[in-house]
Chain A
Amino acid sequence: MNRRASPTSPAADAGSAATHTPAPTSTASAASFASVPSAAVPSAAAASTRATARSDDAHILVSGLGVRRAERWLFHDLTLTVPRGAFVAIVGPSGAGKSTLLACLAGALAPGEGEIRFRERSGRLVAPEHCRPRIGCVFQRLLLVENSSVLANVLCGRLGRHRWWQTLFGAPRAEREAAFAIVADLGLAPHTHRWVAELSGGEQQRTAIARALFQEPDLYLADEPISNLDTYLTGRVLGRLRQEAAQQGRTVFCVLHDPTLVDRFADLVVSIDPTDPHGWRVRPVRR
């Protein structure tokens, strides 16, 4: 219950901070951050502590984020503080920049401006590109290895935990069993050893979700993870993600289109407006 109430305050803080104060990082420092990540870490840490002076359970700190596509800003000066274990829904029409925001959070795309910091459980602040094994992604295009079995794909989730020579000849039995448990939980048990290429769209999507779940990351980034699933499986998958967030403190960012699902599962909603780069809003979901 506590956790459900808590997102409200930091999010409101973040929203108001964004509207009242200028971007915490100048364009120049953002540019230098993009080119020399290590040099910019001290100033980044300082900026983040300023933003989160009052929220120690803040997990993700986004400040002054701006991404430009062609000549147009998709969003600009996006500032957001997300507490650990929150379920954040990202909404907005197609082409608004939802996937781009997720790519920034994953550290796969260097934003034009601003910065993203994760607070590790130790309290240290790190940039996303330095903690990839702890970020689980369900990509929009899934990006599964089609010529491998479902189990092999799910096992890929934990590659980042091991050195390459440890995974050269397959995963240990305990990991294979853990992976199978998740596969079975998502109703894919009969397909465990089938190739992903042979599965239906929904089964493939569940494989991608299973890979992320098996990773046990600190942060889930899911890009429309339920687009191919029926109502029952949608509830099951989002419920599982929500449970991961609430019980394990694994923050979830999820692109969703259905407002009823947003109301049912999300704690926070980030909406992006394709017509106005400053039109992004962060609002808590009241239940």
Chain B
Amino acid sequence: MFPELPWYRCLDALSVTLLLFGLAIFFSLPTLRGSGRDLDYWENARRFLARFFPPDFSVTPQVLTALAETAQIAVLATAGALVLSFPLGLAGARTLSPRWLVTLARLALNVTRTVPSLLWALIAVAIVGANPLAGVLGLTAYSVGYLGKFFSDAFESVDLDVARGLRAIGASRIQAFQHGVWPHTRPLIWSYALWMLEYNLRSAAIIGYVGAGGLGVLLHGYQEYHAWDRFCAVLVFILGLVTVLDLLGEWVRRKVTKRAARAPA
């Protein structure tokens, strides 16, 4: 006779979390009650969005300058985060570092990640003033939280026996890392770095709201003066930037990880 599983064996982690999520949805529904006032939502939306059109592209020169500044902020922040995340990622990899260091590094990374990028930018503005440097510092701090975690996970995913094999034939620790661990993590790290660059470009467009340079400064200004048509022009440029980046990032990532993906598990 076919050995039937008892009913409670169906309660694996997936179905339990799914059930909990369903309950969570139910208990979250009260959030949707709105303000209680009698508003015509459609009319509101129509009236507000109508002010966005047609976009006022007379601001293109300023936008392009700000766009360049946004890109500069994102590039520097990503580069800074890469440099800082590498040692932190090593320290946070359970397979490579002693326990106390892992705990410390992971705690630091979690704290960094918990603070939103806008808040990091605000802190940086308070320290260095309202200029693009604040943007670079703020985004660097935020990115380190993410990249450090990704790098730790990447280092942990490597089969260390290869490095041990190199150690057995005389390689030093550093050599075993460079030749035994790094080739496996390199594609992962590059694709994370590209993802972070994309993310930072999007963030850099926003953090100007707190004065940290880039497109956000323009957005904030146009919002203050209710110049929604210009605001919309900026949004169009951001949309273009993100789309181009997305396509470019996808293409590069495919090139970088193509051979890694083909490796047998």
Task: Please give the residue numbers on chain A whose beta carbons come within 8 Å of chain B beta carbons, in ascending order.
Answer: 106-108, 132-137, 139, 141, 143-148, 152, 156-157, 159-164, 167-168, 195, 197-198, 211-212, 215, 217
Classify chain B's interface size: 20 to 34
What secondary structure prevails in chain B residues at the interface with A? Answer: helix
Q: A143-B165, A167-B175 are in contact. Are A197 and B170 (CB under 8 A)?
A: no
Q: Are B161 and A143 in contact (CB under 8 A)?
A: yes
CB-CB nearest 5 A-B residue pairs: A160-B170, A133-B170, A143-B165, A197-B263, A159-B171
Give Cα A123 to B168, complex, Å: 23
Give Cα A195 to B186, complex, Å: 14
Q: B180 at interface (Cβ–Cβ under 8 A)?
A: yes
Please, which residues of chain B bring their CB within 8 A of the CB of A168? 178
Q: B113 at interface (Cβ–Cβ under 8 A)?
A: no
Q: Are B166 and A156 in contact (CB under 8 A)?
A: yes
The smallest beta-carbon distance between A99 and chain B, in angstroms, is 13
Please, which residues of chain B bring their CB within 8 A of the CB of A135? 168-170
The smallest beta-carbon distance between B129 and chain A, in angstroms, is 40
Q: Are A134 and B184 in contact (CB under 8 A)?
A: no
The smallest beta-carbon distance between A37 and chain B, in angstroms, is 16
Please, which residues of chain A bring their CB within 8 A of the CB of B186? 147
What secondary structure prevails in chain A residues at the interface with B? Answer: mixed
Q: B172 at interface (Cβ–Cβ under 8 A)?
A: yes
23 residue pairs of the A-B complex, CB under 8 angstroms, read: A106-B168, A108-B168, A133-B170, A134-B170, A137-B165, A139-B165, A143-B165, A145-B162, A145-B180, A146-B263, A147-B183, A147-B184, A147-B186, A147-B263, A148-B179, A159-B166, A159-B169, A163-B172, A164-B175, A167-B178, A167-B179, A197-B259, A217-B169
Give Cα A42 to B178, complex, Å: 36
Please, which residues of chain A bring their CB within 8 A of the CB of B253? none
Out of A143, A147, A159, A212, name the residue touching B259 (CB < 8 Å).
Answer: A147
List the count of A-B residue pairs having beta carbons below 8 Å apart: 89
Residue of B nearest to A103 (CB): B168
B171-208 contact mask (Cβ, 8 Å, vs A): 1 or 0: 11011101110011011000000000000000000000
Please, which residues of chain A bring their CB within 8 A of the CB of B184? 145-147
Give Cα A108 to B167, complex, Å: 9
Please, which residues of chain B bring their CB within 8 A of the CB of A146? 162, 184, 263
Please, which residues of chain B bring their CB within 8 A of the CB of A107? 168
Kindly name the residue among A106, A137, A143, A168 whose own CB sees the greatest number of chain B CB atoms within 10 A: A143
Give Cα A141 to B168, complex, Å: 14
Give Cα A134 to B164, complex, Å: 16
The smallest beta-carbon distance between B139 and chain A, in angstroms, is 30
The smallest beta-carbon distance between A125 and chain B, in angstroms, is 19
The smallest beta-carbon distance between B187 and chain A, in angstroms, is 7
Residue of B nearest to A136 (CB): B169
Q: A145-B162, A147-B186, A159-B169 are in contact. List 6 more A-B contacts (CB 8 A).
A: A137-B169, A143-B165, A156-B166, A156-B171, A168-B178, A215-B170
Please, which residues of chain A bring their CB within 8 A of the CB of B46? none
Residue of B nearest to A211 (CB): B169
Q: A147-B259, A152-B179 are in contact. Are A132 and B172 (CB under 8 A)?
A: no
Out of A147, A152, A215, name the residue touching B169 (CB < 8 Å).
Answer: A215
Q: Are B183 and A148 in contact (CB under 8 A)?
A: yes
Kindly name the residue among B162, B164, B168, B259 whose own CB sees the greatest number of chain A CB atoms within 10 A: B168
Give Cα A215 to B168, complex, Å: 12
Please, which residues of chain A bring their CB within 8 A of the CB of B166? 143, 156, 159
Q: B262 at interface (Cβ–Cβ under 8 A)?
A: yes
Please, which residues of chain B bring their CB within 8 A of the CB of A161? 170
Residue of B nearest to A106 (CB): B168
Give Cα A137 to B263, complex, Å: 23
Q: A152-B179, A167-B178, A197-B263 are in contact. Are A143 and B162 (CB under 8 A)?
A: yes
Kindly name the residue among B169, B172, B178, B186 whose own CB sees the greatest number of chain A CB atoms within 10 A: B169
Q: B260 at interface (Cβ–Cβ under 8 A)?
A: yes
Q: Are A197 and B179 in contact (CB under 8 A)?
A: no
Please, which residues of chain A bring their CB within 8 A of the CB of B262? 197-198
The smallest beta-carbon distance between A198 and chain B, in angstroms, is 7
Give Cα A207 to B172, complex, Å: 21
Out of B161, B171, B183, B264, name the residue touching A160 (CB < 8 Å).
Answer: B171
